[in-house]
Structure 1
Amino acid sequence: MTLIFAHRGSAGTHPENTMDAFLEAERVGADGIELDVQLTKDGEVVVIHDETVDRTTNGKGYIKDSHLKDLRKLHANYTFKKKLFNKHKIPTLIEVFDWMKNNSLVCNIELKNSIMDYEGMEEKVITMINDYGYSDRIIISSFNHYSIVACSRLDPMIEIAPLYSTGLYMPWVYAQSLGAKGIHPNKKVASDEIITESIRNGICVRPYTVNKAHQMKRLFNLGCSAIVTDYPEKAIKIRTEL
């Protein structure tokens, strides 16, 4: 069965990377969540997609230049198009991990260190995963492939998967060279042949961001390992019908 991962939580219906979005993913029956992490000035791991707070909050500036206590004052769903939600804070990864104690969701953590060089990010995230005993529930992905290999060296038990958005020749071979058990391609570069060959070679394929019904149906029918979607409830409905 193709697993369904809620992209930044249920980001199509709820403010992305907030506890509301993760709770919704759990409510509708998603198999996992995907989230993004950055490092604050005081070295805290926070859950937010962009390197700045400008797009998703009522604040301005870089995460790396901000202390956690100041980031926590911001309204994390300030720019969400539907104003139906209570004021939410930017979550910490610890907050998400505490919530995960009460469910069995898989969590795909994307390290956002391909633009900013967050020194020590890998060590912090791996330590936290081990402290919570989540090594079998986490997939670490990044566009920074050096970073995920560093994570694998810190703890070979935790699964890693390279993110990529342009065509890669025989990506299953590349994944194996990194010690990765999966690949996370942009849906545009996840052809039928690449998906089936990767899976045949023991590499999971989890394309992002799959939001249209016809895209979901194609991937479900192919037996793709998982999809990453902003609309987990819609995806579950389609998967059930098929």
Structure 2
Amino acid sequence: MTFLTIGHRGVMGVEPENTLRSFVRAERSGMDVIALDLRLSKDGALVVLHDAEVDRTTDGSGAVADLTLAELRGLDAGDGQRVPVLVEALDAVRTPLQVSVGDQATAAALAELLLGRDLTARVEVASFDEEVLAEVARRVPGVRTALYAEQLDAEGGPLTDRAVAVRAETVALNIRQLNLEAVERVHAAGLRVIGWTVNTLDQLRLARALELDGALTDFPEIRSTGRFTA
């Protein structure tokens, strides 16, 4: 079974998260997939940021939705890095991307880009909101999607049912909330299961023992050597 190692916001344990430098290092480290997050700027640009506000990850303050792309570009996203737009991330690396969106407006803008650049083979869309995934799938036939959740219920049912209903191919869950029985139930429904976030050797061993299909990690060492050194 192929085990996918997914760089979480690039390799955010060693580089500024969701920046081009982080994505390039993730690719050079051999990550199979790079996971990033999208939000819409005030003027409708697809910017790569996780939080609704810029305060934590930049030297600025305020809501992403209240700032124009030009204003966001003026911020330091860590070590001199700038807030990228999705197209820049696509151009910076060749590694497949898992792109997380949280609302319908961002999903609609992403769908337009996917269709315009024929990116369905390279980009998987992820969300904690199954309605967002359903809308993307409606707009972009053939797009691959992943449903995220904090935890899986004891029976493995409702979350799996929601994923199947929106034709998601993958369920992504907090590895601390997973057990082998639950993973087996999800697999039985024909879905892949990935865990987040795997940052230690013990967590990597757990991911393997649970027979996960992959895991998100903040550190390149997990992919390159299996050792955690940070």
TM-score normalised by L of structure 2: 0.91
Give the count of matched residue pairs.
Answer: 223
Shift of 1:155: 1.4
Q: Measure, in 2, the Cα distance between the counterparts of 1:91 and 1:75.
A: 11
Q: Measure, in 2, the Cα distance between the counterparts of 1:189 and 1:161.
A: 17
Shift of 1:199: 2.2
Q: Measure, in 1, the Cα distance between the counterparts of 2:226 and 2:72.
A: 38
Residue of structure 2 in register with 1:163 after alignment: 148
The one-letter amino acid of 2:16's match is: P
1:84-123, aligned counterparts within 5 Å? 85=79, 87-100=80-93, 103=94, 105-113=95-103, 120-123=105-108
1:46-195, aligned counterparts within 5 Å? 46-77=47-78, 85=79, 87-100=80-93, 103=94, 105-113=95-103, 120-168=105-153, 169-170=156-157, 171-195=159-183
Q: Measure, in 1, the Cα distance between the counterparts of 2:87 and 2:115.
A: 12
SS in 2 for 1:108: strand
Give ranges in structure 2 of 5+ residues lacking alignment.
none
User: How many percent identity over aligned positions?
Assistant: 29
Q: Measure, in 1, the Cα distance between the counterparts of 2:221 and 2:200.
A: 12
Q: Does 1:207 align with 2:195?
A: yes
Q: Measure, in 2, the Cα distance between the counterparts of 1:6 and 1:161.
A: 15
Q: Does 1:232 align with 2:225?
A: no
Shift of 1:163: 1.0
SS in 2 for 1:148: helix
- Residue deviations 1:204-239, cap 9 Å, x none? 111111112111112124431110111133233129
Residue of structure 2 in register with 1:81 after alignment: none
Q: Is the 8 A contact 1:217 1:238 kept in 2?
A: no
Give ranges in structure 1 of 5+ residues lacking alignment.
78-84, 114-118
Shift of 1:196: 2.5
Q: Is the 8 A contact 1:209 1:227 kept in 2?
A: yes
TM-score normalised by L of structure 1: 0.86
Moved over 6 A (4+): none
Q: Measure, in 1, the Cα distance between the counterparts of 2:207 and 2:77.
A: 32
Q: Measure, in 2, the Cα distance between the counterparts of 1:149 and 1:13.
A: 34
SS in 1 for 2:22: helix
Q: Measure, in 2, the Cα distance between the counterparts of 1:135 and 1:155.
A: 8
Alpha-carbon RMSD = 1.6
